[in-house]
Amino acid sequence: MARIEIDGKTYEVEAGKTLIEITDAHGIEIPRFCYHKKLSVAASCRMCLVDVANAPKPLPACATPVWDGMKIQTRSPRAINAQKAVMEFLLINHPLDCPICDQGGECELQDVAVAYGKDRTRFIEEKRIVIDKNIGALISTAFTRCIHCTRCVRFGEEIAGVKELGATQRGDHMRIDTYMTDTVNSELSGNVIDLCPVGALTAKPSRFAARPWELHTAHGIAPHDAFGSHLEFHIRRNQVMRVVPRENVALNEVWLSDRDRFSYQGLYAQDRLTAPMIKKDGQWQTVDWESALLFAAEGLKKIPAKQLGGLASATATVEELYLLQKLLRGLGSNNIDHRLQQVDFSEKTTKAPFLNQRPADLAQADVVLLVCANLRKQQPLLNHRLRQAVLHNHAEVIRINVYDYPQNFPVSHNLTVAPHQLVATLAGIAKALDEAQPAFKNIEISEQQRAIAACLQKNNKKIKVLLGEAADNLPQLASIRTLTALIAKLTFATFSETGRYANSAGAILAGALPQQTLAGQAISGETGLNAQQMLSQSLQAYVLLGFEPELDSIMGATALQTLQNAPFVVAINGFCTEAMQGYANVLLPMALFAETSGTYVNNSGDWQRFTAAVAPVGSARPAWKILRVLANLLDVHDFAYTASDEILNEVKMLCETSAQTVEDSTWVLSAPQALCYLTEPAIYAGDALVRRATALQATADAQACHGAHVNQRTADKLRLSAGQQVKLSQNGGSAILPLVIDAALADDCVLVYTGLAESAGLAHDVGTIDLTAA
Amino acid sequence: MANQVCFKFKQHNQAESWTLAAYQALGGYKVIKKILNEKIAPETLIAELKTSALRGRGGAGFSTGLKWSFMLPRDEAARERMKGVQKYIVCNSDEGEPGTCKDRDILRYNPHALIEGMMIAGYTIGASKGYNYIRGEFWQPYQRFETAIAEAYKAGLLGENILNTGFDFDLYTHLGAGAYICGEETALLESIEGKKGQPRFKPPFPASYGLYGQPTTINNTETLSSVPSILANSGEWFLNLGKPNNGGEKLFSVSGHVERPANYEIPMGTPFADLLNMAGGVWQGRKLKAVIPGGSSTPVLKAEIAMKMNMDYDSIAAAGSMLGAGSVIIMDDSTDMVKTLARLAHFYYDESCGQCTPCREGTGWLTRILHRILHGEGRPEDLELLDNVSNQIMGNTICALGDAAAMPVISFIKNFREEFQYYIEHGRSMVG
């Protein structure tokens, strides 16, 4: 502890902390530009200079550690003179055109200038002009406004892990510029917009759309990955104008992924469904809610319960998913599922994917085994915690996957194998950990597997085993999960599953599954049909919640075909597409993210409630209300909810009183295939909202998801070359795509991303795929 | 008085004085051999340096003995903690201050004295690796130094287990790329690490967090080259060459309006008038107008004040300037002080790294005002403004470049105000 005096007042503080940390904690105002609590200290803007007794010069509060007996004056003439001097220097070359600057009204420079600036300039020379640069679809630049605080540069080095922005040139020619690439491509790039204290880096999608003082804010929860970042909507006249992070120490800290930041654009897509519609005699007509719901209820009433199926996206809320399964089960059907990206349904029970630790615990890891995880692009802020473990704790990372995703930290063992080899690899590692198990009798252990096992067997170290979202798409899911969990058990590691969607865990807890209901309880009676069965054999009727079969389902074309064959389909959706008009009989417009209240359960196990920030577009309504009225019309009991909290309370009560039981599962080796078909949702097309966010579609990450990907060896073997149009054909679907040579793939694999129109013609067929020149 | 007790250039008269043979013929490497063979305690060496009152020759004038002592463990616990920690000795040969050219001649004519000095420093502070950062424009000195290193390696004076004493020392040269700021010690470290040359904020100081984050001592070329002679004789001997607190001899680079511009090695405390005489006096029989005694960043002095001072740290400080790196710039009565200052200001503007606000913005502002005055567009209030802006830079920056840019402006205007006023009023120089 140290006893210090600030402006004549004595404080007991922790020795070694920087002065600005102390003053910030005590609400003492010290102006600053380059300092940011989550970045390293640059001490370069000099705005935070303060007067320290016995120091020959004013000292920067951001870089000066406190010592016992220190006396600081933040408002003495020496401090004020230094601060005013810096302020004048910052303003001489800064364009004073705040009225036409997008940052005007929320600009740190503007705010500080009010307190420390002069109302007359002494600078009569010509001001500096810096030529702008287009650095991509998300960030707009006005480099003449830059005050060289280098927060954006440090962000790239320290948080995003890619040095995309740097300070080039020197003296007053110094400028922020891209090097190596022309654009900023990080999946976290949007954070530099928040970091920039002036209008040099602003959000391109919302540029010049609104003034800060016209906006009001509302809280929300990010709707894409399972990390559950906290965010804030900036709203004008009932329209979400932009999204920014809301600080949450336990989760996203002060950051937000680009996907969570810019997906709000999807809310105002051209194809938003704004009014209920029904199809009568082959003609679509817009009707009022009552007629639409009656029409839906009438249609569903005629269907025998076993012929009724319900499919929902895992971006739906706990309340919506719970009501959907309650409705179907109330009608006598267990045909309900949300696992639209899964092909292996051999596991008897489904457990909610949880990290079983806090994200901050991951940052303390010593050894981490990542299996089938693309954390960097799929859960960027969880990846950030892992990166902190590597940088600050020197954690060793072992990565095993079917695709060699680029990492932003060093990996000590990096294995990219075809899916059928994945099981053998994991089994080899497990055997190296426990050779005595009879199940491993025929397994060979390679040198590398032995080395990985040795890496994981460390005493007194924090070992973490993470099973990622990419496993869901593989036909070997059950075996992979079993073996990964076994490895975790044998190494006394924390076993984590990341999940993929905002509510992957919530959907399972809410019981949106054919074989288990709320909180993982097994159902009484016959198990219903799973997503794969429902989407390959036509039932007589479906209720779809936020689900676009050709894009959301891994079975694409087959799913669409199946729904087209169904006699009666009720689609509750935020959008209206041509495909929907083809298979649906009723279209019920639902409120989307930001427009509805509800709860997501993230992979940390937090039940995160949110309320509606804006009223729904048109006459769209929250899906829980739609489901409630539908249930009432269908005479299903216990549907007298008046608020979403009532639903949540019911769910939570049941979740707290029942424990999930998981049966021991088994694993099998899989046979090799001539050409293995790999697929995963494209980074910015994984759900209905984000695939309509136009700015994100223009990013390099989104562009990289197009085409059919094979590695060079596979291309040579098939006598195909890069850029060539190739035909992919399989049982139930085909597509013509340009060939992309992708060194990140294992041999004899072809990767096509789902969620894109170009690949919607494909159907997942675990058997074969043919790749020929088109 | 020139060349009387010149230990650094005592080989000047020899052909190829820069060779190992020439250096050894004059007793070179005897000191390090003695130290290594007798395993003289670092504390003893540091005490000798403290006695000598050797002060940093790069410009700051910090006691060399004291600086080296920071690298020794304070107690047993620290000694235990520091075991196996890689330390570095770095030589700053990035001699970039306008007016300075002394280190260049050491590298050209006496490189082995520097190598021996660095070895002694390495031994004393416990560094097994040394770097010499040479200014980018110094191609010939760079080649001479590289050749000298190769000779020393061949002779078994560098490398592992030197002369079977168990002492390891590797020496590397790093050629800069022409940035003045890399002469600032922490920017120099950044540059060696392959980064953009920008000073680091201190603390932490290099003694605790230096090159590659390891404990590092950085000394000037002349400082390190003086060490072998000091230890070959004694601290007392060196101190007596000069005067108390200003030990030894020092190289002065005399440039400007003199008959014989050159490097002069003279005892500390020599009257300025004597040095001027050695350089042949003001050229073409003109009158002395002003002197910048320590390199372009130090305050300018009027002739009458300069003529009364002696060439040592304390005396020059008393006269209102700084000894700096000992780069004496002589200006005769034909010098246009406005133009001179404009040129100097432009230099610092050009060399500012741009990292911190006062220097990045302030040097540009000063330059633009002076440029305006020089082109006949000065305003009476500009002098006040120049002084004001300079004072707003002074002391508010990360490194000393801000001060270096501000001091000439403040001193030129203070000492030659009427010339600036004349220029502003008439749009042309007072001296024609």
Calpha distance B296→A480 (Å, rounded): 71
> B165-174, pLDDT tens digit by residue?
999 999 999 9
Look up residue A736 and give its two tokens. Answer: 């013509």
CA atoms within 13 A on the CB side of A333: 28
End-to-end, the C-alpha distance of chain B in Å comes to: 37
Quote the pLDDT of residue A655: 79
Asked if A472 and A764 touch (Cβ cutoff 8 Å), the reply is no
* Cα–Cα separations (whole angstroms), residue B278 to A418, B212, B258, B321: 82, 44, 10, 22
Quote the pLDDT of residue A768: 74
Give chain B positions within 8 Å (CB) of A60.
201
Q: Which of A270-279, A532-541, A658-667, B414-423 has the lowest mean pLDDT?
A: A658-667
Count CB neighbours of A417 within 10 A. 17
Calpha distance B72→B61 (Å, rounded): 21
Quote the pLDDT of residue A524: 82
B298 pLDDT higher than 90: yes
Residues 6 or more apart whose Cβ sits within 8 Å of residue A740: A706, A707, A708, A709, A710, A722
Smallest Cα distance from B50 to chain A, Å: 25
What average pLDDT does this structure show over A15-42? 96
Q: Which residue has the higher pLDDT, A463 or A732?
A: A463
Asked if B245 and B314 touch (Cβ cutoff 8 Å), the reply is yes
Residue among B354, B362, B396 whose CB faces A58 most closely: B396
A320: nearest Cα among A582, A529, A502, A551: A502
- Which H/E stretch holds residue B133? strand B129-134
Residue type, B204: P
CB contact under 8 Å between A44 and B385, yes or no, is no
B7 pLDDT higher than 70: no
> A619-638, pLDDT tens digit by residue?
999 999 999 999 999 999 89
Work out the angle between the directed axes of helices B337-351 and B357-374 (0-180°, nearest 10): 150
Give chain B positions within 8 Å (CB) of A148.
354-355, 357, 360
Q: Which residue has the higher pLDDT, B223 or A673?
A: B223
Calpha distance A553→A337 (Å, rounded): 12
Is the pTM higher than 0.90?
A: yes
> A354-387, pLDDT tens digit by residue?
999 999 999 999 999 999 999 999 999 999 999 9
Quote the pLDDT of residue A170: 92
Residue among B349, B360, B385 whose CB faces A174 most closely: B360
> A497-529, pLDDT tens digit by residue?
999 999 999 999 999 999 998 888 888 888 999
Asked if A427 and A453 touch (Cβ cutoff 8 Å), the reply is no
Q: Which of A75-79, A188-192, A439-443 has the lowest mean pLDDT?
A: A439-443
Quote the pLDDT of residue A658: 58
Instruction: Give the strand pairing for A413-416 and A308-312.
Output: unpaired
Q: Which residue has the higher pLDDT, A652 or A696?
A: A696
B252 pLDDT higher than 80: yes
CB contact under 8 Å between A43 and B362, yes or no, is no
* Cα–Cα separations (whole angstroms), residue B185 to A172, A637, B197: 22, 79, 10
CB contact under 8 Å between A170 and B395, yes or no, is no
Count CB neighbours of A403 within 10 A. 17
> B142-160, pLDDT tens digit by residue?
999 999 999 999 999 999 9
CB contact under 8 Å between A89 and B196, yes or no, is no
CB contact under 8 Å between A60 and B369, yes or no, is no
CB contact under 8 Å between A170 and B354, yes or no, is yes
What average pLDDT does this structure show over A472-485? 93
Look up residue A179 and give its two tokens. Answer: 């090097």
Strands (DSSP E) contained in A378-459 are 396-401, 413-416
pLDDT band at B6 (very low <50, low <70, confident <90, very high): very low
Asked if A352 and A512 touch (Cβ cutoff 8 Å), the reply is no
Per-residue DSSP letter, B282: B
Count CB neighbours of A653 within 10 A. 12
Count CB neighbours of A577 within 10 A. 17
B409 pLDDT higher than 80: yes
Closest chain A residue by Cα to residue B397: A46
Residue type, A252: N
Burial B422-432 (b: 16+ CB within 10 A, else e): bbbeeeeebee
Give chain B positions within 8 Å (CB) of A57.
395-396
CB contact under 8 Å between A172 and B179, yes or no, is no
- Measured in whole angstroms, the distance separating CA B348 from the mean position of its chain's CA atoms is 17
Smallest Cα distance from B369 to chain A, Å: 7
Quote the pLDDT of residue B4: 32
pLDDT band at B10 (very low <50, low <70, confident <90, very high): low
Instruction: Give the strand pairing for A463-467 and A494-497.
Output: parallel
CB contact under 8 Å between A46 and B360, yes or no, is no
Which of A556-560, A732-736, B40-44 has the highest mean predicted lDDT (pLDDT)?
Answer: B40-44
Q: Which residue has the higher pLDDT, A437 or A136?
A: A136
Give chain A positions within 8 Å (CB) of B354.
148, 167, 169-174
CB contact under 8 Å between B364 and A171, yes or no, is yes
Calpha distance B372→B380 (Å, rounded): 12
pLDDT band at B1 (very low <50, low <70, confident <90, very high): very low
Q: Helix, strand, coil proportions of chain B in percent (round to 5)?
A: 45, 15, 40
Q: Helix (H, G, I), strand (E, B), or coil: what is residue A433?
A: helix
- Measured in whole angstroms, the distance separating CA B117 from the mean position of its chain's CA atoms is 16
Residue among B179, B201, B362 whose CB faces A89 most closely: B362
Residue among A42, A65, A123 whose CB faces B365 most closely: A123
Calpha distance A385→A363 (Å, rounded): 5
Quote the pLDDT of residue B129: 97
Mean residue pLDDT across chain B: 93
Give chain B positions within 8 Å (CB) of A167.
196, 354
Q: What is the largest CA-CA distance in chain B?
A: 74
Residues 6 or more apart whose Cβ sits within 8 Å of residue B412: B300, B337, B340, B341, B420
CB contact under 8 Å between A85 and B392, yes or no, is yes
Q: Which stretches of A19-168 are DSSP H helices? A: 19-25, 77-92, 108-116, 151-155
Quote the pLDDT of residue B25: 87
Chains A and B form CB pairs within 8 A to the count of: 96
Look up residue A424 and give its two tokens. Answer: 């053998």
List the single best residue of B361, B381, B383, B403 to mutate versus A (max A Cβ within 10 A): B361
A487 pLDDT higher than 80: yes
Look up residue B215 and give its two tokens. Answer: 């404990």
Q: What is the largest CA-CA distance in chain A?
A: 89
A563: nearest Cα among A578, A584, A577, A546: A584
Phi then psi for residue A645, to 5 deg, are -60, -35
CB contact under 8 Å between B357 and A65, yes or no, is no
Quote the pLDDT of residue A662: 55
Instruction: Give the strand pairing for B301-302 and B288-292.
Output: antiparallel
Quote the pLDDT of residue B143: 97
Quote the pLDDT of residue B140: 95
What average pLDDT does this structure show over B232-247? 89
Quote the pLDDT of residue B2: 33
pLDDT band at B162 (very low <50, low <70, confident <90, very high): very high
Quote the pLDDT of residue B60: 86
pLDDT band at A661 (very low <50, low <70, confident <90, very high): low
State the complex-level ipTM: 0.94
B161 pLDDT higher than 80: yes
B8 pLDDT higher than 60: no
Asked if A60 and A46 touch (Cβ cutoff 8 Å), the reply is yes
> B104-153, pLDDT tens digit by residue?
999 998 999 999 999 999 999 999 999 999 999 999 999 999 999 999 99
Give chain B positions within 8 Å (CB) of A122.
385
Per-residue DSSP letter, A233: E
A288 pLDDT higher than 80: yes
Closest chain B residue by Cα to residue A41: B201
> B360-402, pLDDT tens digit by residue?
999 999 999 999 999 999 999 999 999 999 999 999 999 999 9
Calpha distance A681→A378 (Å, rounded): 10
Q: Helix, strand, coil proportions of chain A in percent (round to 5)?
A: 30, 20, 45
Look up residue A480 and give its two tokens. Answer: 């992979």
B432 pLDDT higher than 80: no
Quote the pLDDT of residue A666: 82
Calpha distance A18→A31 (Å, rounded): 15
Calpha distance A153→A151 (Å, rounded): 5
A292 pLDDT higher than 50: yes
Strands (DSSP E) contained in A530-647 are 541-545, 568-573, 586-589, 598-601, 607-610
What average pLDDT does this structure show over A694-698? 97
A107 pLDDT higher than 70: yes
> B40-98, pLDDT tens digit by residue?
999 999 999 999 999 999 988 899 999 999 999 888 898 888 888 999 999 999 999 99
